[in-house]
Amino acid sequence: MLVSRRLTGARARAPLLASLLEAWCRQGRTTSSYSAFSEPSHVRALVYGNHGDPAKVIQLKNLELTAVEGSDVHVKMLAAPINPSDINMIQGNYGLLPKLPAVGGNEGVGQVIAVGSSVSGLKPGDWVIPANAGLGTWRTEAVFSEEALIGVPKDIPLQSAATLGVNPCTAYRMLVDFEQLQPGDSVIQNASNSGVGQAVIQIASALGLKTINVIRDRPDIKKLTDRLKDLGADYVLTEEELRMPETKNIFKDLPLPRLALNCVGGKSSTELLRHLAPGGTMVTYGGMAKQPVTASVSMLIFKDLKLRGFWLSQWKKNHSPDEFKELILFLCNLIRQGQLTAPAWSGIPLQDYQQALEASMKPFVSSKQILTM
């Protein structure tokens, strides 16, 4: 059951950069001439030839654009975020590694410029996002196969389209695939200010679920807490507050969570387990602390807790492309209803990629870095 209320505050203010980007896109759609044989003067891309520190191995290079043939689609990239998985992939610490040299970026939104003669599902002017990881979105233009792309509606904000294919999808699948939650049930998560965390707050609210959101303490803690509550967070606690005996008072007003979402590991994940209801499930989808998940024997025996993992790329392998498209359209509907917005973000021109990479790897930075082309 979806909640139709529209969120206010930070969610209702459309950033100026997004408006400028969308105006630029509209202008491009009305003035450009589309041809399957047109090619740009040059294509810029962020390329790495070796795994390592992104600041050292990523280079801005000019690439040749291949000709558009049968099932090919010529795409002009509009915006592409920098996600933790992008950084891990460049470092060589990810479950999926493209052949080198490779273009960085697994997510983003582009506009179709031209299509090959065999393309039936896309047309010039359409917006598209990657169907799978490893496509290489940190570039101005590219020619992709039609099956590598998914069309998305153009009536959603550009920054929402650019950040649609990874974090919101991960959030939704974890909320619905592991426990049969009902409206009024609660969910606890750490890294709540991450892209996935912000999506969990909003989607859970739309599903009628309550969220207990754990974050690290920081100088601007009140500002962050207020922003998460504007998104729909019911409770926001620091890691230290979660360990206090007073935390149990929260559960006088709502049931113990049957689902915990872990992106940190180490002591943080152990605390999540401590607050799970008997028979509950903790799903791990990240390891920011670079420490193992530790569960006591008593938690497994006497509380019958379950430890699971989630990786969106594996979910896609186990499900059809149509099921992923259905998920994307469901999330687009939430966006239209004002129930799902993009995470807090900063737009950075492609040529200033070093600034964006540095910001994306700093601690306590809650703003998603989005490369604009």
Question: Worst-scoring range by mean pLDDT, 1-10, 199-208, 253-262, 361-370?
Answer: 1-10
With H, G, I as helix, E, B as strand and everything else as coil, classify residue 309.
strand
Residue 25 has pLDDT above 80, yes or no: no
> How many whole angstroms separate alpha carbon 43 and alpha carbon 28?
17
Confidence of residue 189 (pLDDT cuts 50, 70, 90): very high
Answer whether residue 211 shows pLDDT above 50. yes
* Topology of domain 167-314, CATH: Rossmann fold (3.40.50)
User: Maximum Cα–Cα distance for the chain, whole Å?
Assistant: 67
Task: Taking the CA atoms of 80, 81, 86 and 90 in sequence, report the sign of the dihedral they define.
Answer: positive
CA angle at 130 for the pair 64 and 2, rounded to the nearest 5°: 155
pLDDT score, position 367: 87
d(C-alpha 138, C-alpha 57), whole Å: 14
Residues of the chain with CATH 3.40.50.720: 167-314
Q: So what's the pLDDT on residue 365?
A: 77
Ramachandran sector of residue 231 (left: φ over 0; alpha: ψ -120 to 50; beta: rest): alpha
> What are the Cα distances from residue 307, in Å, to 186, 211, 214, 299?
18, 19, 19, 11
Q: Is it the case that residue 27 has pLDDT exceeding 70?
A: no
DSSP letters, 253-296, are TSPPPSEEEESSBHHHHHHHHHTSPTT-EEEE---TT-B-----
Report yes or no: 282 and 276 within 8 Å, Cβ to Cβ. Answer: yes
Q: Tell me the DSSP string of 113-163.
A: EEE-TT--S--TT-EEEESSTTS--SBSEEEEEGGGEEEE-SSS-HHHHHT
Residue 15, φ and ψ in degrees, nearest 5: -60, 145
CA nearest to 69, candidates 36, 39, 111, 41: 36
292 cis-preceded (ω within 30 degrees of 0): no
176 close to 159: Cβ distance less than 8 angstroms: no
Average pLDDT score, the chain: 90
Q: Is 365 helix (H, G, I), strand (E, B) or coil?
A: coil
Q: What is the pLDDT of residues 237-294, one digit of tens each?
A: 999 999 999 888 998 889 999 999 999 999 999 999 999 999 999 999 999 999 999 9
How many beta carbons lie within 10 A of that of residue 100, not counting itself? 12
Position of tokens 């001439």?
33
Q: Does the structure show a pLDDT above 50 at 182?
A: yes
Q: Per-residue pLDDT for 17 more than 70?
A: no
Tokens of 100: 């080198």
Residue in 48, 94, 172, 235 annotated catalytic? 94
Q: What are the DSSP calls for 229-258, one per residue?
A: HHHT-SEEEEHHHHTSGGGGGGGGTSPPPS
Q: Where in the chain is the domain with CATH 3.90.180.10?
A: 43-163+342-372
pLDDT digits (tens, 9 = 90+) for 129-170: 999 999 999 999 999 999 999 999 999 999 999 999 999 999
94 is catalytic: yes
Residue 233 in this model has a pLDDT that exceeds 60: yes
The CA-atom distances, in angstroms, between 312 and each of 167, 179, 284, 304, 317 are 9, 17, 12, 26, 9
Q: Crossing angle, helix 195-206 and helix 221-231, to 10 degrees?
A: 40
Question: For residues 142 and 110, what is the distance between their CA atoms, to the nearest angstrom?
Answer: 10
Q: What is the pTM of this model?
A: 0.88
With respect to CATH, is domain 43-163+342-372 assigned 3.90.180.10?
yes
CA-CA distance, 157 to 160, in Å (whole number)?
Answer: 5
43 DSSP β-pair partners: 63
